[in-house]
Structure 1
Amino acid sequence: MEEMIEYMLRFGNLNKQQIDLVVSKAQPRELKKEDYFSEAGKVPKEVGFVVEGVIRGCYYNNKGDEITRCFISENSLVCDYVNLEANTSSSEYLQAITDCNLIVFSKKDWEELSHIIVGWDNIKNKMVQLCMYQKSRKGPVISQDATTRYLEFMENYPSLINRIPLAYIASYLGVTQQSLSRIRKNIR
């Protein structure tokens, strides 16, 4: 819980009473590896904060290939916020790729905080903007060669390299696992 409070306080001020209210609305949740936080075809109902573990955002393209779009690790919000707000079905999956510990808010409780805490909307909006930015900017630039994309991945996610299956890294980079293995071999 402390990690989440520290994270929130980066975006604005909350007094002890307000922090206690936020904590009272939060529920701890464990996701086992390969469990889904939210699924395509379903309306997202929660906002989460990753305390421990890694979640990936993925979807299926028109050929049926699974594409990894982003990785969400510790001290980050996890949510399909656009569809949560619009109350519409998601087109992507948010799936645990390691065992995860989360702090979760129901949509109702998340929204209720806006009605009770003065300034919550400002804090919430900044957190959501960062969440959406992280999800959108994480895709590699396909015009770069695969080695450059992998080197950038290693630079941007040094703590994830040994925690994520190679198949997901390859999917994220837009290469086959065999190509990724060759790239990794040539870098060493």
Structure 2
Amino acid sequence: MKALIDFLLQFGHLNTQQIDLITGKAKALQLAKDNYFSEAGKVPNQVGFILHGIMRVCYYDNTGEEITKYFCDENNLIVDWHHYDAKIPASEYVQAVTTCKLLIFSRQDWEELSNTIVGWENIVHKIIQKALIQKLDRRSPLVSEDATTRYLAFLQKFPSVANRVPLSYIASYLGVTQQSLSRIRKNVR
């Protein structure tokens, strides 16, 4: 619980009563490897905070190929914000890459925090803003750089992820085949 509160306090002030309310609403969830936190075609109805493990956001392209959009590891919120906020079915999956321990908030509990805690919306806005900037920073170089440079950048931006997820997911994220990634890794060592 401390990790969640420390995370939230980076984005704004919370008093003891507010912290107690938040911790009272958070529920523990263990998500087995490969299970989904939210699924395409369904309205996302919970917000999670990753205590341990790695999750990924992925989708299937028009040829049926699975594409990893990004990874999310410990001490981060996980939710498909756009679809959650709009209350519309998601177009992507949020999947546990490893066994994950999370603290989760139902939509009702999250909305209660929003309606009760003064400044909660501002904290959430700052979290979303930071997440969007991180996504852009991570994705932008992938478009213009060669595969080796993209892989080296991946290692720099996701140091705790590289050895904990299947190569196929990393290859998908980088936009290369698994065989190409294996060659790149061999040449980089």
- TM category (shorter chain) comes to over 0.9
Structure 1 CA distance for aligned equivalents of residues 125 and 32 of structure 2: 29
Q: Partner residue of 1:164?
A: 165
Structure 2 CA distance for aligned equivalents of residues 69 and 50 of structure 1: 18
Structure 2 CA distance for aligned equivalents of residues 31 and 146 of structure 1: 32
Q: Partner residue of 2:154?
A: 153
Residue 183 of structure 1: how far off its partner (Å): 0.3
Q: Partner residue of 1:18?
A: 18
Letter in 1 for 2:32: K
Is the contact between residue 58 and residue 68 of structure 1 (CA under 8 Å) also seen in structure 2? yes
Verify: 1:72 aligned to 2:76, yes or no.
no
Q: Partner residue of 1:82?
A: 82
Any idea what SS the aligned residue of 1:44 has?
coil
Residue 129 of structure 1: how far off its partner (Å): 2.2
Residue 136 of structure 1: how far off its partner (Å): 4.5
For each residue in 1:94-128, what CA deviation from the matched residue of structure 2 results, as whole angstroms up to 9, or x when unmatched?
A: 00000000010011111111211111111121122
Any idea what SS the aligned residue of 2:144 has?
coil
Q: Partner residue of 1:29?
A: 29
State the percentage of identical aligned residues.
Answer: 56
Q: Partner residue of 1:183?
A: 184
Verify: 1:144 aligned to 2:160, yes or no.
no
How many residues align structurally? 188
Q: CA RMSD in A?
A: 1.1
Structure 2 CA distance for aligned equivalents of residues 13 and 181 of structure 1: 46
Is the contact between residue 142 and residue 174 of structure 1 (CA under 8 Å) also seen in structure 2? no
Is the contact between residue 97 and residue 164 of structure 1 (CA under 8 Å) also seen in structure 2? yes
Structure 2 CA distance for aligned equivalents of residues 111 and 136 of structure 1: 28
Any idea what SS the aligned residue of 1:158 has?
coil
Q: Which runs of 5+ in 2 are unaligned?
A: none
Normalising by structure 1, we get a TM-score of: 0.96
Letter in 2 for 1:14: L
Q: Partner residue of 1:59?
A: 59
> Any residues of structure 2 matched to 1:116-127 within 5 Å, and which?
116-127=116-127
Letter in 2 for 1:19: I
Any idea what SS the aligned residue of 2:18 has?
helix
Q: Which runs of 5+ in 1 are unaligned?
A: none
User: CA distance change for structure 1 residues 45 and 135 in 2, over 3 Å: closer, same or farther?
Assistant: farther
Residue 21 of structure 1: how far off its partner (Å): 0.4
